């Protein structure tokens, strides 16, 4: 079969190069994050988001922008969203006290453009709530990292935990960095994606680690770098098949799932690719660097007994 030829890849040869590549990517991500920051959506920054559909397809995006600017609503961004005559309008201002706020925007827009404007979706988040949502999102990500740390700590030795957690942080930073670089909007669903990435990446790492541990117990004379190679090769076809099926599902969402799920599925696609890569080239090398040996795992056993 396809992956059979790839049975004896000396992964450890590439560790150094890949680690340099990862370091560069992480530095770049942090740099981009510091310079550009994240494009926070209304969930986290507060404001008003309106998905607009125009009846008249000839209306130009700049006409909509002009019309909105006239209303003096603060910072306004308009961009295409999904179909031809669908737009996404983001308004900095929220006026939740005025019940007519949204209606008056619609009325003015309709009369300025001389066409019926359909508001397909309106999201209005006040500053207090957006602040809370941001905190809850950060808390969720931190908690999930902590939970993973604790879980793997219980199941494995500390060298393994270290490898897994560094790989997780690697994945999260690069995914978020790519979002910053592309100025993609970060909203609640991106937090969901990041959490799922954490789960997925961990899943991938654990399967390799499981095998490393098993092999360490089996062979006492083989060096850890050789064990890593054997274990990675043994689990490689599983790693690839699962990544492929997950990516198939994700691409299906990305292409056919509509505009709302684009950001979420994009983040997940990046996360699955980076997560698969990091299990092999970030998490496993750390076992080599920390000189894991048969003693490490056997000690664990005697302790348990």
Partner 1 sequence: MLYFSKTKIFIIYSVIFFLSLCAFLNLIENDQNFILSKKVNLGLDLQGGSYMLLEVDSEPVLKQKLQEKLLNFKKYLKKNKIQYQDLKIINQSINFFISKNDIEKFEEFFLNKDNLINIYYNQYRSYEMTYSIIDNEVKIEYSKFGIIEIKKTTLDQSLEIVRRRIDEVGTKEPTILRRGNDRILIELPGLEDPNRIKKLLGKTANLSFRFVSQTENTFGSELLFFENSDDQLSVSKRVIVSGDNFINAKPLFDNQTNQAIVSFSFDRVGAKKFGRATTDNVGKRLAIILDNKIISAPSIREPILGGNGQISGDFTFQEATDLALLLRSGALPAPLRIVEERTVGPDLGEDSIKAGAISLMIGFLLVIFYMLYKYRLLGIIADLALIINLILLLGVLTILEATLTLPGIAGIILTVGMAVDANVLIFERIKEEMKIEKSTIHAFDMGYKRAQSAVIDANITTLISAVILFFLGSGPVKGFAVTLGIGILTTLFSAYFFARHLSSLYAMKNKDKQIVL
Binding residues among 126-185 for partner 1 as defined by CB under 8 A: 126, 128-129, 133, 136-137, 139-140, 143-144, 147-148, 151, 155
Q: Is 273 in the site for partner 1 (CB under 8 A)?
A: no
Q: Is 36 in the site for partner 1 (CB under 8 A)?
A: no
Per residue, the 3-state secondary structure of 190-236, as one string, reads: HHHHHHHHHHHHHHHHHHHHHHHHHHHHHCCCCCHHHHHHHHHHHHH
Conformational region of residue 40, where left means phi above 0, alpha means psi within -120 to 50, and beta covers everything else? beta
For partner 1, the closer of residues 20 and 244 by Cβ is: 244
Q: How far is the CB of 211 from partner 1 (least distance, A)?
A: 7
Residue of 7, 70, 103, 217 that binds partner 1 (CB under 8 A): 103
Q: How far is the CB of 96 from partner 1 (least distance, A)?
A: 4
Q: Is 93 in the site for partner 1 (CB under 8 A)?
A: no
Helix (H) or strand (E) holding 58: none
**DSSP code, position 292:** -
Q: Is 247 in the site for partner 1 (CB under 8 A)?
A: yes
Q: Is 228 in the site for partner 1 (CB under 8 A)?
A: no
Q: Which residue has the tokens 């709302």?
A: 260
Q: Is 283 in the site for partner 1 (CB under 8 A)?
A: no
For partner 1, the closer of residues 183 and 245 by Cβ is: 245
Q: How far is the CB of 152 from partner 1 (least distance, A)?
A: 8
Spatial separation of the C-alpha atoms in residues 235 and 7, rounded to whole Å: 10
Q: Is 97 in the site for partner 1 (CB under 8 A)?
A: yes
Q: Is 81 in the site for partner 1 (CB under 8 A)?
A: no
Q: Is 206 in the site for partner 1 (CB under 8 A)?
A: yes
Q: Is 256 in the site for partner 1 (CB under 8 A)?
A: yes
Spatial separation of the C-alpha atoms in residues 208 and 279, rounded to whole Å: 8
Under 8 Å CB-to-CB from 43, ≥6 apart: which residues? Answer: 123, 125, 130, 133, 134, 187, 188
């Amino acid at each position: 079969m396809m992956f059979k030829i790839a049975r004896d890849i000396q992964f450890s040869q590439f560790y150094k190069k890949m680690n340099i590549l990862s370091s560069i990517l992480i530095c770049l991500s942090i740099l981009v994050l510091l310079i550009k920051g994240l494009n926070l959506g209304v969930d986290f920054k507060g404001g008003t988001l309106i998905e607009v559909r125009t009846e008249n397809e000839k209306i130009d995006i700049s006409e909509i922008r002009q019309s909105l600017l006239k209303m003096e609503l603060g910072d306004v961004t308009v961009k295409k969203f999904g179909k031809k005559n669908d737009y996404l309008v983001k308004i900095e201002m929220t006026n939740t006290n005025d019940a007519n706020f949204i209606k008056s925007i619609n009325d003015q827009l309709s009369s300025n453009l001389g066409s019926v404007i359909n508001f397909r979706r309106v999201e209005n988040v006040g500053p207090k709530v957006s602040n809370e949502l941001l905190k809850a999102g950060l808390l969720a990500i931190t908690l999930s990292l902590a939970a993973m740390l604790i879980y793997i700590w219980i199941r494995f030795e500390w060298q393994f935990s270290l490898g897994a957690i560094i790989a997780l942080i690697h994945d999260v930073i690069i995914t978020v960095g790519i979002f910053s670089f592309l100025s993609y909007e970060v909203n609640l669903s991106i937090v969901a994606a990041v959490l799922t990435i954490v789960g997925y990446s961990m899943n991938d790492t654990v399967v390799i680690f499981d095998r490393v541990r098993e092999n360490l117990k089996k062979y006492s004379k083989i060096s850890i770098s050789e064990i890593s190679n054997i274990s990675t090769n043994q689990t490689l076809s599983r790693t690839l098949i699962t990544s492929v099926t997950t990516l198939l599902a994700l691409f299906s969402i990305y292409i056919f799932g509509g505009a709302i799920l684009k950001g979420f599925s994009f983040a997940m696609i990046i996360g699955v690719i980076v997560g698969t890569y990091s299990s092999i080239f970030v998490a496993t090398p750390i076992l080599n660097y920390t000189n894991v040996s048969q003693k490490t795992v056997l000690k664990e056993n005697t302790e348990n007994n």
